[in-house]
Amino acid sequence: MKICCLVKEVPDAAVQKRIDPETKRLDRSGEKNLNPFDTHALEAAMQIREGGKADVDEIVAVTMGPESAVRALHKAVALGADRSLHLTDPTLEDSDVCATGYALSKTLEKEAPDLVLLGQQSDDGECYTIGAVVADHLKMPSLTQVIKIDVADGTLTCERQAEYGYDTVEVELPAVISVGDAINEPRYPSLKAIMGAKKKPLETHSIADVGIEAERVGTHGKRTEVLAINPPPEKEPGEIIEDENTNETVEKVVAWLDGRKLL
Amino acid sequence: MGGILVYALHDDEGNFNRNSLGAISEAADLAGDLGSEAAAVVVGEVADDACAGLGAYGAGKVYRARSAPEGLAQPIVDVMAKVTQEEGFSYALFGGGLLGFEIGAGLTARLSAGVTMEVTDVRVQDGKLVAVRPVLQDSAVVDVGYVGEPGVIIGRLNAFDAVERDGGSAEVVDIEIELSEWSTKARMVKRGEQRGDEVNIEDADILVGGGRGLGEAENFKLAEELAEALGGAVAATRAVVDAGWYPYSAQIGQTGKTVAPKLYLAAGVSGAIQHKVGMQSSENILAINKDPNAPIFEFCDLGIVGDLHKILPKLTEAVRAKKGG
């Protein structure tokens, strides 16, 4: 069984994110990191490998992004992927969800995975949708926000929370599954794995290498267009208290509650 | 200009989802401005009068695919793609909810359509729809237009209000559907399982919401004691419910309940968007969290940066003393 994990490089959580008013795109300068939600997908792949219910031949980390995205792949390899694939091409810049899903699916097609895993969302785009877009292009069944996966005989039994409670769904492989962060507690990479990550095979593909039609991606392929960026609706900022002396803090909280007639 | 097609989600008893009804109302208003029509898609064996009843929310037509199963996205993508193409709809609109995200994403791939998610408002501009979407933890709001048709709009939970009008009955049109091969490869084994005890959080004036910051399941008793002192109930985030620390029926947010109590006291709740959408209408929001960068501090009325294990017991004591005295 071959598992491909889709990963993404995102601005580090500590970086104040902003949209560049000129390009109307996310300013991706500053410290970057592997999307924390993707570490759960890598961990899920590792647990399937270690669980003994399926023979996992290979775990491949796949990303699309500029040159710097290689670092996200190194981290993914340090967390357990055997090798990685980097789709990078200037034509891909400014791709929207529709185009990104198409481009990733073309890259995955070449790998013919039995299972594609990804995190439920990216820390920056907050789109929650890439998995389902990729799945439809690959003509594979898919499920998002999965918090439990059991593998047996080419079928996954997945659990996830939907509108009316918990659903249990059987999904035939090959499939695309996006996992929720409750699925596992990702391990920390060992120092040895971090040191060795750069030595693991990394392939770089251009759009031509995987058969992506240039007019369907990037700026030309966009099906949506950001027309304006506005500040959020004005809201009185709340009062923030650092708890230095808990007795005093509690006194202030009780006074606040009392002032609003909540006691 | 083609119309706006809405997916109407229903539970196993055939009751339509509040967010779907809201999407129908929104679509009807927008279609009015565009000079087109709003219609709904329903899958499964839903009775004629229930389908026709969607007319009360503004649906002119209801396309019913009896043979397609409810609850999984891909068969519904098949249905919506077919109706969109054959009937020439210009937009697909979804109320907030997990399934809407999945179906909308599938449609995006199938129809090479533009998609916007977490949409809080939609308006008509130059004869086209523009979706308004908060981004970057709600620190900015973008207006998104569509290049070509169709466009897919996925609403945020509670973005669209369900409004009954004098619309009368919708015309119910049965459609035959041949499912894609891959749409038949996922099968619902059990739908809507309730985990944990049944608790009522919707009628409480005061809620103490517990999140992962409580550290472990046992620490929910700190939240329970405080809730009791305040005369309220305890609610929970998805993270702790998924972890099995607290019952699903107490969960607030995207796939849980929506509440608007007089006081929402968030204990160890980070304030992720999926949680925020279920409680942001609370009259007063008080947050206690040790992480000064937690998003909840961006929208609370009073925020305490500190260790809730120290603060909660003392606060409980102080509330009891104040109320007793």
Residues B176 and B244 in one domain: no
pTM (predicted TM-score):
0.94
Instruction: For residue A91, give the DSSP letter.
Output: G
Half-sphere exposure of A54 (CA within 13 A, CB side): 24
Residues B179 and B210 in one domain: no
Nearest to B106 among A124, A132, A182 (CB): A132
Query: Is B37 inside a domain boundary?
Result: yes
Residues B118 and B58 in one domain: yes
Residues B52 and B180 in one domain: yes
- Please write the tens of the pLDDT for every residue from B17-52: 999 999 999 999 999 999 999 999 999 999 999 999
A30 SS3 class: coil
CATH of the domain at B211: 3.40.50.1220
Domain ends where: B150, B184, B218? Answer: B184
What CA–CA distance (Å, rounded) separates B190 from A190?
39
Q: What is the DSSP string of A181-216?
A: GGG--PPPPPHHHHHHGGGS-EEEE-TTTTT--GGG
Residues B34 and B83 in one domain: yes
* Pairing mode of beta strands B186-193, A165-172: antiparallel
Query: Is B193 inside a domain boundary?
Result: no
Residues B215 and B83 in one domain: no
Query: Is B195 inside a domain boundary?
Result: no
pLDDT attached to residue B325: 66
CATH of the domain at B97: 3.40.50.620
What CA–CA distance (Å, rounded) separates A7 from A117?
9
What CA–CA distance (Å, rounded) separates A254 from B275?
25
Residues B53 and B176 in one domain: yes
User: Which of B19, B21, B124, B135 is the mutation pick for testing A, counting most A CBs within 10 A?
Assistant: B135
Are the CB atoms for B96 and B159 separated by under 8 Å?
Answer: yes
Nearest to B193 among A130, A131, A166 (CB): A166
Least Cα distance to A85 among A101, A108, A112, A118 occurs for A108
How far is it between the farthest Cα atoms of chain A?
67
Residues B66 and B170 in one domain: yes
The more confident residue out of B297 and A127 is B297
Angle between helical axes of A97-111 and A130-138 (0-180°, round to 10): 50
Taking an 8 Å cut-off on Cβ atoms, the answer to whether A246 and B263 are in contact is no
Which residue in B has a C-alpha nearest to residue A220's C-alpha? B147
Which residue in B has a C-alpha nearest to residue A95's C-alpha? B114
Q: How buried is residue B310: exposed, middle or buried, by Cβ count under 10 Å (0-12/13-18/19+)?
A: middle
Taking an 8 Å cut-off on Cβ atoms, the answer to whether A243 and B310 are in contact is yes
Residues B180 and B101 in one domain: yes
Q: What is the DSSP string of A106-160?
A: HHHHHH--SEEEEESS-TTT----HHHHHHHHHT--EEEEEEEEEEETTEEEEEE
Question: Both tokens of residue B166?
Answer: 């004098």
B143: left (phi over 0), alpha (psi -120 to 50) or beta: beta
Question: Both tokens of residue A66?
Answer: 């500029």
- Those residues whose C-beta lies under 8 Å from the C-beta of residue B270, and which sit 6 or more positions away, are B211, B212, B213, B237, B289, B291, B294, B295, B296
Taking an 8 Å cut-off on Cβ atoms, the answer to whether A239 and B299 are in contact is no
Does residue A27 have a pLDDT over 90? no
Nearest to A258 among B188, B310, B322 (CB): B322
User: Which of A28, A244, A257 is the mutation pick for testing B, counting most B CBs within 10 A?
Assistant: A257
Q: What angle do CA A246, A250, A251 make, to 5 degrees?
A: 115
Q: What is the mean pLDDT of chain B?
A: 96
Domain ends where: B184, B216, B239? Answer: B184
Residues B156 and B216 in one domain: no
All domains in chain A, ordered by first residue: 2-221 (3.40.50.620)
Query: Is B251 inside a domain boundary?
Result: yes
Q: What is the mean pLDDT of chain A?
A: 94
Which residue in A has a C-alpha nearest to residue B239's C-alpha? A182
Are the CB atoms for A92 and A122 separated by under 8 Å?
Answer: no
Residues B67 and B171 in one domain: yes
Taking an 8 Å cut-off on Cβ atoms, the answer to whether B186 and A140 are in contact is no
pLDDT attached to residue A77: 97
pLDDT attached to residue B176: 97
Taking an 8 Å cut-off on Cβ atoms, the answer to whether B143 and A227 are in contact is yes
Nearest to A238 among B151, B303, B311 (CB): B303
B252: left (phi over 0), alpha (psi -120 to 50) or beta: beta
Looking at beta carbons, which residues of chain B come within 8 Å of A97?
105, 108, 115, 117
Q: How buried is residue A152: exposed, middle or buried, by Cβ count under 10 Å (0-12/13-18/19+)?
A: exposed
pLDDT band at A35 (very low <50, low <70, confident <90, very high): very high
Nearest-neighbour CA in chain A from B52: distance (Å): 23
Looking up tokens 């501090």 gives B297
Nearest to A228 among B142, B182, B242 (CB): B142
**pLDDT tens sequence for chain B (325 residues):** 799 999 999 999 999 999 999 999 999 999 999 999 999 999 999 999 999 999 999 999 999 999 999 999 999 999 999 999 999 999 999 998 899 999 999 999 999 999 999 999 999 999 999 999 999 888 899 999 999 999 999 999 999 999 999 868 999 999 999 999 999 999 999 999 999 999 999 999 999 999 999 999 999 999 999 999 999 999 999 999 999 999 999 999 989 999 999 999 999 999 999 999 999 999 999 999 999 999 999 999 999 999 999 999 999 999 999 998 6
What interface predicted TM-score (ipTM) does this complex get?
A: 0.94
Contacts 24+ apart (CB under 8 A), A44-49: A44/A117, A44/A149, A44/A179, A44/A183, A44/A184, A45/A3, A45/A5, A45/A80, A45/A81, A45/A115, A45/A117, A46/A79, A46/A80, A46/A187, A47/A184, A48/A1, A48/A3, A48/A115, A48/A149, A48/A151, A49/A3, A49/A80
Are the CB atoms for B42 and B64 separated by under 8 Å?
Answer: yes
What CA–CA distance (Å, rounded) separates A246 from B310?
7
- Please write the tens of the pLDDT for every residue from A192-247: 999 999 999 999 999 999 999 999 999 999 999 999 999 988 888 899 999 999 99
Partner residues linked to B154 by β-bridges: B94
Taking an 8 Å cut-off on Cβ atoms, the answer to whether B113 and A223 are in contact is yes
What percentage of residues in chain A have a pLDDT greater than 90? 86
Does residue A15 have a pLDDT over 80? no
Average pLDDT of the residues in A89-116: 97
Are the CB atoms for A101 and B152 separated by under 8 Å?
Answer: no
Question: Both tokens of residue A156?
Answer: 């996954």
Nearest-neighbour CA in chain A from B27: distance (Å): 19
**Residue B23: what residue type?**
A
Count of Cβ atoms closer than 10 Å to residue B247 Cβ: 17
What CA–CA distance (Å, rounded) separates B307 from B284?
21
Helix, strand, coil shares, percent, chain B, to 5: 35, 30, 35
Does residue A45 have a pLDDT over 80? yes
Looking at beta carbons, which residues of chain B come within 8 Å of A249?
304, 306, 311
Which residue in B has a C-alpha nearest to residue A226's C-alpha? B144
Number of domains in chain B: 2
| Segments forming the whole domain that contains residue B160 | 4-184
Residues B292 and B162 in one domain: no
B251 SS3 class: strand
What CA–CA distance (Å, rounded) separates A255 from A237?
19
Query: Is B167 inside a domain boundary?
Result: yes
Taking an 8 Å cut-off on Cβ atoms, the answer to whether B195 and A96 are in contact is no
